[in-house]
Amino acid sequence: MRTRPLKVALLGCGVVGSEVARIMTTHADDLAARIGAPVELAGVAVRRPDKVREGIDPALVTTDATALVKRGDLDIVVEVIGGIEPARTLITTAFEHGASVVSANKALLAQDGAALHAAAGEHGKDLYYEAAVAGAIPLIRPLRESLAGDKVNRVLGIVNGTTNFILDKMDTTGAGYQEALDEATALGYAEADPTADVEGFDAAAKAAILAGIAFHTRVRLDDVYREGMSEVTAADFASAKEMGCTIKLLAICERAEDGASVTARVHPAMIPLSHPLASVRGAYNAVFVESDASGQLMFYGPGAGGAPTASAVLGDLVAVGRNRITGTTGPGESAYAALTVSSMGEVVTRYHISLDVADKPGVLAQVATVFAEHGVSIDTVRQQGKDGEASLVVVTHRASDAALGGTVEALRKLDTVRGVASIMRVEGE
Amino acid sequence: MRTRPLKVALLGCGVVGSEVARIMTTHADDLAARIGAPVELAGVAVRRPDKVREGIDPALVTTDATALVKRGDLDIVVEVIGGIEPARTLITTAFEHGASVVSANKALLAQDGAALHAAAGEHGKDLYYEAAVAGAIPLIRPLRESLAGDKVNRVLGIVNGTTNFILDKMDTTGAGYQEALDEATALGYAEADPTADVEGFDAAAKAAILAGIAFHTRVRLDDVYREGMSEVTAADFASAKEMGCTIKLLAICERAEDGASVTARVHPAMIPLSHPLASVRGAYNAVFVESDASGQLMFYGPGAGGAPTASAVLGDLVAVGRNRITGTTGPGESAYAALTVSSMGEVVTRYHISLDVADKPGVLAQVATVFAEHGVSIDTVRQQGKDGEASLVVVTHRASDAALGGTVEALRKLDTVRGVASIMRVEGE
């Protein structure tokens, strides 16, 4: 074993960073044996230097993150600050000054992954980020390495624990959205401002990262269609149950059937209860990966939390540490396929549509005609009358999102259609 | 990209090998882009040279595997022959002549992994074997790399598809063992001689490999306790159902609570229906990994089959190919922890025991006394009388296998105990 230690700087010492520091100390011997050299915590950049941090030498703590990454003697910078700036500048500065980087920053990777990878490549350094997607669940490495000899066709997953907790609560207790959100907030699963989770921004960042790796194609955050789950109602869950389904907020990255283009999207969807994702409870994450040769694989585990995320960070730390010692770097970005990233209109799936309609003869015929005119084939229709009002529940065969959009627009113009109560995609069949 | 191709030799061209060759051809451009150099199939060693092999140039086919691995210009040898010899000699010869090796050979890795790793290390070559455990499911790489910064405490999994198919069939249809085995054979899930699967030899080899990687300790095949599932009966499934459980053949690798020793074992066990492994159907595999920081992770997918296994082989091929180009090698064997591998007697778990007893007063008191004398605490007892005969079903709290063994031996000596109908461990709680 090499005796000269690998010097590691930690940017951020919150929930994840403090766990990384703790494990680096308590498991120092194991890490050294697995890397082939001891690791030394060389500095910790924080915003609040006065906070007592158990197990961390106060002499290592600094508020000057820039000076820390410019030291020039660092082997690895662990970035667990999150957000775009100053994280982005600190990471590129770290590369310029000779360090490799391990990051848990999904927002930054989704927005600027290509530029960061380019900076890492230019300086011959590693950029690892297993912790950026689905916490402790090994997902980046399996997609990037284990499936490197296969052709991935679809990634379908629950990648946000907060929204899964809320939807699971609505499903199992019949609670409404607000009630379930309040419980998630009280238990610490949701943040004070839950927007990033419930509106799907967090999941969309992860979808962009996963799609990029799965399809060897640059997928930007803007390429990801995003629809949150704050408008899912108890009535939607009742409809789902009638279909033998439940509702999950899914991140879906798909290769089109012709193989030449891909899509990435985040939205609530009905999935059959028999699908393994349907039984993912609470704040857990799970991701299905479908490939030509391997068939269907699933990866399941805690998608967030200090210790699980730290586990992923430290796995990367070991890999990057080994690379430093052997003087090599890992696979890096792979975007050679450069497939077209299509918009949501190109997505083909099934739909569950609830319409409020006038309760009189001929309505179904009118509605069915609109579907037919837009080339959307109907699988089943269910009519329910109540006091002069009626509801019509239509489940379609597979159709493009554009065709469905046109259908709905035309339906809204029918006199007999009082309103479109809900539109939900049906996935996982 | 490097233009000089990586030369790959294929040892064995059966179900897996032919898929490897097929994908190497059809996905040649993707593999080249991902590795950074083209791959060239340089030779294929087979037993029956006359068989027509679609897509493989007959000029590449040879029956002289030894001459092939001695060529000296090979970069990577893919060994998918299986069994101990000639695979072992061919692999070591390949290392001696400058090639790295990708293998799917669980039996060989479990029996001689240490020697093969040593040979690889001596010659500065890679030995990768993701396909040896659980087919396409990424498991070796996540354990060896993703969790390299964590402390794995338990690996609990269904790692044999044949036996899972049989047990699933018994569970869902009420079929007996022989009937379910016959169906598995008819459908091609079981081999003509199913011994390696149903007696747990295959799962034991995988358990040895997984335990070695998870605990950074050499675990030999002989260290793995092994009990097959050919004696599981429909009555056992009925008992399991009464407990809210099902029965699975599990491979279990555990760190003892004191952290200083580990055990590895394969046997049928009851697991609660609420456990994710309980719902693994058909020939699928799934492995739970419990670690200090990451918590519970699960990996699920097809555990066998030509294409899934080829996917794992090709993932390794890409990794080893990259290593060749950058002039480095992967992590290699990690056995630094060198923990004690304890025998089955040290394993602590719960037990479900069915006794045939005389239907007269005092029997329960006698039986309970025997358990108490051996320090095995009883959780629940259920008595059922029928025509002078009675059965007693005892479920224990956690106890060592040695204590349970002593208890059962003493029970057999009681006049009032006519027989021990079944003993089954209860896991996953």
Residues of chain A found within 8 Å of residue B292, distances taken between Cβ atoms: 307, 311
Question: Is residue A176 exposed (0-12), middle (13-18) or buried (19+ Cβ within 10 Å)?
Answer: middle
- Summarised one tens digit per residue, pLDDT across range A234-280 is 999 999 999 999 999 999 999 998 888 999 999 999 999 989 899 89
**Cβ contact, residue pair A136, B294, below 8 Å:** yes
Nearest to B311 among A34, A137, A147 (CB): A147
Question: Is residue B59 exposed (0-12), middle (13-18) or buried (19+ Cβ within 10 Å)?
Answer: exposed
Q: What is the mean pLDDT of chain A?
A: 94
Q: What is the pLDDT of residue B317?
A: 98
From CA B256, how far away is CA B342, in angstroms rounded? 9
Q: Which CATH superfamily is domain B6-136+306-326 in?
A: NAD(P)-binding Rossmann-like Domain (3.40.50.720)
DSSP type of residue B377: P
Q: What is the pLDDT of residue B135?
A: 87
Helix, strand, coil % in chain A, rounded to nearest 5: 40, 25, 35
Q: What are phi and psi of B97, to 5 degrees?
A: -100, 20
Q: What is the mean pLDDT of chain B?
A: 94
B119 closest CA partner among B107, B108, B135: B108
- Summarised one tens digit per residue, pLDDT across range B214-255 is 999 999 999 999 999 999 999 999 999 999 999 999 999 999
From CA A367, how far away is CA B402, in angstroms rounded? 72
Do residues A405 and A374 lie in contact, with contact meaning Cβ atoms separated by under 8 Å? no
Q: Which CATH superfamily is domain A6-135+306-326 in?
A: NAD(P)-binding Rossmann-like Domain (3.40.50.720)
Residues of chain A found within 8 Å of residue B130, distances taken between Cβ atoms: 146
Do residues A312 and B146 lie in contact, with contact meaning Cβ atoms separated by under 8 Å? yes
Residue A45: how many CA atoms within 13 Å on its side-chain side? 21
Residue B222, classed as helix, strand or coil, is helix
Domains B6-136+306-326 and B140-302 share a fold: no
Beta bridge partners, A44, equal A10, A61
Query: What number is the average pLDDT over the span B263-282?
Result: 94
Catalytic residue numbers of B, as ranges: 206
Contacts of A85 (CB under 8 A, 6+ apart): none
Question: Is residue A413 exposed (0-12), middle (13-18) or buried (19+ Cβ within 10 Å)?
Answer: exposed
Do residues B420 and B354 lie in contact, with contact meaning Cβ atoms separated by under 8 Å? yes
From CA B163, how far away is CA B284, in angstroms rounded? 10
Beta bridge partners, B407, equal none
Q: Which residues of A are annotated as a binding site for NADPH?
A: 106
Q: What is the pLDDT of residue B4?
A: 92
Do residues B37 and B327 lie in contact, with contact meaning Cβ atoms separated by under 8 Å? no
Q: State the best of A130, A150, A213, A299 to mutate against chain B, taking most chain B CBs within 10 Å.
A: A150
Structure tokens at A77: 């910078």
Residue A117, classed as helix, strand or coil, is helix
Query: Containing H/E element for A344?
Result: none
Nearest to B300 among A291, A298, A322 (CB): A298
**Cβ contact, residue pair B297, A34, below 8 Å:** no
Do residues A215 and A339 lie in contact, with contact meaning Cβ atoms separated by under 8 Å? yes
Asked if the model's pLDDT at residue B388 lies above 80, the reply is no
Q: Min CA distance, A325 vs chain B (Å)? A: 11
Nearest to A149 among B299, B311, B326 (CB): B311
Nearest to A311 among B27, B216, B294 (CB): B294
Q: Min CA distance, B239 vs chain A (Å)? A: 25
Asked if the model's pLDDT at residue A155 lies above 90, the reply is yes
Do residues B184 and B199 lie in contact, with contact meaning Cβ atoms separated by under 8 Å? no
Q: Min CA distance, B166 vs chain A (Å)? A: 21
- The least confident of A291-300, B312-321, B388-397 is B388-397
**Cβ contact, residue pair A138, B149, below 8 Å:** no
pLDDT grade, residue B50 (50/70/90)?
confident
Do residues A270 and A352 lie in contact, with contact meaning Cβ atoms separated by under 8 Å? yes
Sequence spans of domains, chain B: 6-136+306-326, 140-302, 347-426
A372 closest CA partner among A418, A403, A335: A403
3-state secondary structure A259-281: CCEEEEEEEEEEEECCCHHHHCC
Residues of chain A found within 8 Å of residue B145, distances taken between Cβ atoms: 141, 315, 318-319
Q: Min CA distance, A354 vs chain B (Å)? A: 33
Structure tokens at B197: 């699967």
From CA B280, how far away is CA B197, in angstroms rounded? 17
Nearest to B145 among A141, A279, A326 (CB): A141
Structure tokens at A386: 């109540």
Helix axes A401-412, A363-373, angle to 10 degrees: 140
Any known ligand binding at B16? yes
Do residues A395 and A378 lie in contact, with contact meaning Cβ atoms separated by under 8 Å? yes
Q: Min CA distance, A55 vs chain B (Å)? A: 17
Q: State the best of B129, B141, B287, B294 to mutate against chain A, taking most chain A CBs within 10 Å.
A: B294
From CA A369, how far away is CA A366, in angstroms rounded? 5
From CA B236, how far away is CA B214, in angstroms rounded? 32
**Cβ contact, residue pair A297, B300, below 8 Å:** yes
Domain spanning B347-426, CATH architecture: 2-Layer Sandwich (3.30)
Query: What number is the average pLDDT over the span B159-183?
Result: 96
From CA A113, how far away is CA B263, in angstroms rounded? 43
Structure tokens at A242: 């009638």
Of chain B, the percentage scoring pLDDT greater than 70 comes to 100
Helix, strand, coil % in chain B, rounded to nearest 5: 40, 25, 35
A315 closest CA partner among A93, A145, A116: A145
Catalytic residue among A169, A206, A248, A386: A206
Query: What number is the average pLDDT over the span A305-320?
Result: 96
Q: State the best of A145, A255, A285, A291 to mutate against chain B, taking most chain B CBs within 10 Å.
A: A145
What CATH topology corresponds to A140-302? Dihydrodipicolinate Reductase; domain 2 (3.30.360)
- Summarised one tens digit per residue, pLDDT across range A347-393 is 999 999 999 999 888 899 999 999 999 999 999 999 887 777 789 99
Query: What number is the average pLDDT over the span B199-225?
Result: 97
- Count, residues in chain B: 429
